[in-house]
Amino acid sequence: MTSSAPTAFDRGHTDDLMSFLAASPSPYHAVANAAARLEKAGFRQVEETDAWDGTSGGKYVLRGGAIIAWYVPEGAAPHTPFRIVGAHTDSPNLRVKPQPDMGAHGWRQVAVEIYGGPLLNSWLDRDLGLAGRLSLRDGGTRLVNIDRPLLRVPQLAIHMDRAIYEKGLQLDKQKHMQPIWGLGDSVGEGDLIAFLEEESGLSAGEVTGWDLMTHALEAPAYLGRDHELLAGPRMDNLLSVHAGTAALASVSARDGLPYIPVLAAFDHEENGSQADTGADGPLLGSVLERSVFARGGSYEDRARAFAGTVCLSSDTGHAVHPNYAERHDPTHHPRAGGGPILKVNANQRYATDGSGRAVFAAACERAGVPWQTFVSSNSMPCGTTIGPITAARHGIRTVDIGVAILSMHSARELCAADDPYLLANALVAFLES
C-alpha cells in the first residue's frame, strides 16, 4: 500500500495546519479562515438568497459554522459529477449557557453546557480562552476571540478526595465543570456579555445573542526528540477541514478536471449533525442541485451528476494506543505516521464498501501516499461520522477516511507530524483524478 511517486505537500503543510488550528477556536472562525484561503485562490462567495449564474470558477457558501465550496471547470456540462471532500468544523468543548453569569463562595463563574463528548478531565486546571459568534441588535454578527487566560475549571485537591486512587476521577457534568473567571460575592447579570462587548469594541446592549465556547490556549507544537509528533487542539476535525481546503485550492488551478471538486465542511457533527448547518440538513444537496440548475441542467442532469458523484468523508480515527492495545481489533492496527486510514464497518457506521475502497486506493497510489485500514474491535461499539449520513441523505457513494490520532476528544490531541500532509496529497489526487 505504498508508492514512490512524489507528493505536492510537505512539512510546510503541517506548519500551516498549526497556524490554522490556533486561529480557529470555533467553527465560525474555522470557516472564515477556510474562506480566506479560498479567496486567495480566486474563489468568491455567493449568497444563498441571490440568484446563481452558471459561470465557471471557484465559489463558496457560508452558513454559520459550515462552508460548501466548489470549483466549476471551464466547459463543465450540467451532468458533470462531483468529487466531494466532507469534514466537520466542530469539536467537543464547554459552551456558554443563555444565562452565563453565576458564582458562589466568593468566586465568579461562567455557566457552561457540555457540547459533544469531550474527555472532561482534559479540561481541568487548564487556562482557557473564550471564542465564538456574537449576534447584534442590527441583525449582524461579530466574531470574538478572547485568546488569553480568562477561564479555568479547577480540580478538587487530592486532600479532599483521597478515594480517587481507588475509584478513579469521577466528574459530575453539572456540578464540577463550571469554570471560574474572577472573585466577588455578588454576580452581576450581564457581566460576561458586557465584558465581551467592551473587548469587541461594541456599545453596551448591542449584543442580543451569542454562540460562545471555551478553548485551550496552549499553542499547537511539534513533539518528540525528532519533532515527529504534532500536539494541538481541535484536530478532530479541523485537520481534515484544513487538508480539504488546501486540496481544493490546489486543484482549482489545474485545467481539464473531469469532475467538479467540492469541499463540504459541516457544523454539529459531534452532536448528531441534525442542524441546518449539519450533514443531516439540506445544505449540501441544495448547493449541488443549484450548481446543476445554474448551468442550465434539468432534474435528469441532477440525477446523472449525483449518480456519478463520490464523497470522501474525512475525519480523524484511532491510532493504536500503546498502553491500551487490547482495545483495538487484533488484525487492524493503524500506526501514527503510516498515512491516512480507510474506515470500515460492516454495520455501516462508516459508509465504506469495496468499491469505495478501490477509489481511495487509486487516489493514494496516484499521490504516492501509504494508507492503512481501521476496523473496530467486535467487542467495542463503533463511532460514526458524516459519511453514512451523506450517503443515505443524498444517494452519493461515500468512503470514510481520516488520520489516525491519539487522545481523540481531548482538549489537546496527538498525531504524527507527517500524516496531515499525506492526507492532503491523497485528497488532491482524489479531486483531480
Q: What percent of the chain has pLDDT over 90?
A: 93
pTM value? 0.96
pLDDT band for position 394 (50/70/90)?
A: very high
Q: Which of 73, 77, 52, 48 is nearest to 63 (CA)?
A: 48
| Whether residue 4 has pLDDT greater than 80 | no
The three cell numbers locating residue 280: 443531516
What radius of gyration do the chain's Cα atoms show? 22
pLDDT band for position 6 (50/70/90)?
A: very low
Read off the DSSP letter of residue 250.
Answer: H
pLDDT digits (tens, 9 = 90+) for 229-271: 999 999 999 999 999 999 999 999 888 999 999 999 999 999 9
Please report the pLDDT score of residue 129 as a whole number: 98
The mean of the pLDDT values for the chain is 95
pLDDT band for position 3 (50/70/90)?
A: very low
Please report the pLDDT score of residue 419 as a whole number: 98
pLDDT digits (tens, 9 = 90+) for 147-165: 999 999 999 999 998 888 8
pLDDT digits (tens, 9 = 90+) for 207-236: 999 999 999 999 999 999 999 999 999 999
Q: What percent of the chain has pLDDT over 70?
A: 98
| Whether residue 294 has pLDDT greater than 50 | yes
Question: Residue 168 carries which side chain, given as an amino acid letter?
Answer: G
pLDDT digits (tens, 9 = 90+) for 62-103: 999 999 999 999 999 999 999 999 999 999 999 999 999 999
CA dist., res. 330 & res. 342, Å (int): 16
Please report the pLDDT score of residue 206 as a whole number: 97
The three cell numbers locating residue 237: 476535525
Please report the pLDDT score of residue 166 as a whole number: 87
* Whether residue 323 has a cis bond before it, omega within 30° of 0: no
Please report the pLDDT score of residue 5 as a whole number: 44
Please report the pLDDT score of residue 7 as a whole number: 54
The three cell numbers locating residue 282: 439540506
